[in-house]
Amino acid sequence: MMLNIETLKVSIWRGGADGQFVSYDVPRLDSQTVLDVVTYVQRSIDPGLSYRFSCRVGMCGSCAMTVNGIARWTCRTHVSKVSVNDALELAPLSNLPIIKDLATDMSTFFDKWAGAKGQFRGERTRHEDFANVLPSSAARKAADAGIECIGCGVCYASCDTVTWRPDYLGPAALNRAWTLVNDERDVVGRERLRAVAGDAGCHACHTHTTCSERCPKGIAPTLGISGLKRVTARAAVRGELD
């Protein structure tokens, strides 16, 4: 009996910003994910390949890469869905400095979350009763819509505005800010609106909606950003941001 093993042509970015694509042949398997392919290359062909992953089940947000030109979470992306003529091109995420191979430096990405005042700040202590937040309230629903972000950076890497304006906070940080603006327990709303207003904040968004199209969790940061635009512009007109 002759085994008919299909092969996948995989082209992977190697090196830093001035690196290049290197080709590898990887056996094609059923239900193979893109992360499986990268893991095969590192374990069986070149142990020097650098990439990030952790949970492998779409929870941790660490395995995002550019797959055939589009940013995706690789652990939940099947090869059958994205390969073109049995070929894959894997590059690090765009809009972030490359450390090596498929690993990018995500410091700026997370610093921007802090810059958008992405930390919750309440006023109750553990000695007080829980806050009662009505699940059916409009604010709670708006917060729910954006709360499942796993911080993978797919939206940030896909955003043209980030490319054009590197100081722009980006979709993930603004989405986080929007969930907190809608958190009735939070007490630093005014400061947060000040942090996300203006040309490096929500008002830079051109509503291209690429972030919403590519978010693997189905979140629509564009929606949250337009909410922030509305709220901050009104606050600015009332003089609340001065």
Partner 1 sequence: MSAATQAKLWYAQRISAMVLALCVVVHIVTILYAVRGGLTAAEILGRTRGNAAFAAFYVLFVLSAAIHAPIGLARIAEEWLQWRGRLMNVVLSVFAAALVFTGLSAVWGLYGG
* Nearest CA-CA partner of 232 in 89, 117, 135: 117
Closest contact distance (angstroms) between CB of 106 and partner 1 is 23
Closest contact distance (angstroms) between CB of 132 and partner 1 is 33
Closest contact distance (angstroms) between CB of 230 and partner 1 is 9
Question: Which span (77-85, 105-113, 179-187, 234-242) binds partner 1, by CB under 8 A?
Answer: 234-242
Question: Which span (49-57, 68-76, 79-87, 193-201) binds partner 1, by CB under 8 A?
Answer: 193-201
Sequence-distant contacts of 189-194: CB under 8 A, at least 24 apart? 190/235, 190/240, 190/241, 191/117, 192/116, 192/117, 193/228, 193/231, 193/232, 193/235, 193/240, 193/241, 194/241
Q: Tell which one of 134, 199, 208, 213 touches partner 1 (CB under 8 A).
A: 199
Distance CA 55, CA 74 (A): 11
72 binds partner 1 (CB under 8 A): no
Structure tokens at 232: 């901050």
Distance CA 181, CA 227 (A): 10
Distance CA 58, CA 111 (A): 23
Question: Which span (72-80, 87-95, 171-179, 232-240) binds partner 1, by CB under 8 A?
Answer: 232-240
Nearer of residues 111 and 240 to partner 1, judged by Cβ: 240
Binding site for partner 1 (CB under 8 A): 161, 164-165, 194, 197-201, 203-204, 229, 232-237, 239, 241-242
